[in-house]
Amino acid sequence: MAELKKDEAQSEVVDATAEQPEAASAPARRGEPILQVRNLVKHFPLTQGILFRRKIGAVKAVDGVSFDLYKGETLGIVGESGCGKSTVAKLLMTLETATSGEVFYKGEDITRLSGRALKAVRRNIQMVFQDPYTSLNPRMTVGDIIGEPFDIHPEVAPKGDRRRRVQELLDVVGLNPEYINRYPHQFSGGQRQRIGIARGLALNPRSSSATSRSPRSTSRCRRRSST
Ligand SMILES: Nc1ncnc2c1ncn2[C@@H]1O[C@H](COP(=O)(O)OP(=O)(O)OP(=O)(O)O)[C@@H](O)[C@H]1O
Ligand SMILES: [Mg+2]
């Protein structure tokens, strides 16, 4: 069943399995969208054979998804397990290559970017992973985990300032900044999820993706846009 809900606070819930209606009921928006997704498609090939792999079909993980995301908006994608929510998030991060379709970040189609241009865009679209147990390296301290994005984008935080920035991020997500030298196993599941969020916020992204799964059959994928 098609479902696209928008409220006064400009948040949206999209049924990932459904066709999306026209944005007739959308609240008034100013400026250009941060993200524009157009007819996004991802088919994973199904193969058979060991030496000679031949294609016997495809999993249509994402099949024609379109939406706009404006500054300050929060958008949730809701659908049953396996309906393609995480795949959409990975396509937005260009961690998967789209079969077809376009993802415009501030007007530029990022599905066609590579090298330095892609790296620059990735700084602004961050992901919070679904499973805090497997997405945090158990051998790294929380400080190293949250500060790791600064190794890739050193221009965001000079080396001497990183510890302070990490402690600031711990505070932002409601964790004690003094926990900076602890390891992931010393935190609860919810606290680990917050460590992932702090890492996602480290580079001051314009947009971040978070995937979460409810224990029941319905799953949710929520994307957040920040200023
Ligand atoms: N690398 C892959 N190769 C083949 N099929 C894949 C691959 N990744 C995902 N899929 C398939 O694509 C479909 C969508 O997967 P996806 O992980 O996006 O689902 P989801 O909506 O996030 O589910 P959940 O709520 O359980 O996290 C599933 O059927 C999955 O089996
Ligand atoms: Mg998922």
Q: Within this chain, do residues 96 and 199 fall inside the same structural domain, yes or no?
A: no
> In this structure, is residue 115 part of a structural domain?
yes
> In this structure, is residue 10 part of a structural domain?
yes
> In this structure, is residue 103 part of a structural domain?
yes
As for how many domains the chain has, the answer is 2
Q: Within this chain, do residues 167 and 107 fall inside the same structural domain, yes or no?
A: no
Closest among 62, 68, 132, 127 to 99, alpha carbons compared = 62
Domain housing 93: 1-124+205-227
Ligand 1 atom nearest 83 alpha carbon? 21
> In this structure, is residue 174 part of a structural domain?
yes
Q: Within this chain, do residues 9 and 110 fall inside the same structural domain, yes or no?
A: yes
pLDDT 10s digit of each residue in the chain, 227 long? 323 333 334 455 556 555 554 444 455 556 788 999 999 999 999 888 877 888 888 899 999 999 999 988 888 888 888 899 989 999 998 889 999 999 999 889 999 888 888 888 888 888 888 787 788 999 999 999 999 999 989 888 888 899 999 999 999 999 999 999 999 999 988 899 999 999 999 998 776 666 655 433 333 333 443 33
Ligand 1 atom nearest 44 alpha carbon? 4
Q: Within this chain, do residues 105 and 1 fall inside the same structural domain, yes or no?
A: yes
Pick left, alpha or beta for residue 6 (phi over 0 → left; psi -120 to 50 → alpha; otherwise beta).
beta
Q: Within this chain, do residues 69 and 97 fall inside the same structural domain, yes or no?
A: yes
pLDDT of residue 192: 92
The DSSP line for 190-224 is HHHHHHHHHHHHTT--SEEEEEE--SSSEEEEEEE
Q: Within this chain, do residues 167 and 210 fall inside the same structural domain, yes or no?
A: no
3-state secondary structure of 140: coil
Q: Within this chain, do residues 147 and 110 fall inside the same structural domain, yes or no?
A: no
Identify the residues whose C-beta falls under 6 Å from ligand 1: 44, 59, 61, 79, 81-87, 213, 219
Q: Within this chain, do residues 142 and 219 fall inside the same structural domain, yes or no?
A: no
Confidence (pTM): 0.71
> In this structure, is residue 129 part of a structural domain?
no
H helices within 78-161, ranges in order? 85-92, 115-122, 132-135, 142-152
Ligand nearest to the CA of 128: 2
The residues with which 218 forms a beta bridge, in sequence order, are 80
Q: Within this chain, do residues 214 and 105 fall inside the same structural domain, yes or no?
A: yes
Q: Within this chain, do residues 79 and 178 fall inside the same structural domain, yes or no?
A: no
Name the token pair of 131: 């499973």
Name the token pair of 222: 């929520």
Measuring from atom 22 of ligand 1, which residue has the nearest CA? 86
Measuring from atom 29 of ligand 1, which residue has the nearest CA? 82
Residues 41 and 62 sit within 8 Å (Cβ to Cβ): yes
> In this structure, is residue 130 part of a structural domain?
no
pLDDT of residue 121: 87
> In this structure, is residue 70 part of a structural domain?
yes
Sequence-separated (6 or more) residues with CB below 8 Å from residue 54: 47, 48
pLDDT of residue 220: 36
Radius of gyration, alpha carbons of the chain: 19
Q: Within this chain, do residues 73 and 140 fall inside the same structural domain, yes or no?
A: no
Name the token pair of 146: 């949250």
Q: Within this chain, do residues 157 and 73 fall inside the same structural domain, yes or no?
A: no
Residues 219 and 226 sit within 8 Å (Cβ to Cβ): no
Measuring from atom 7 of ligand 1, which residue has the nearest CA? 44
> In this structure, is residue 6 part of a structural domain?
yes
pLDDT of residue 219: 34
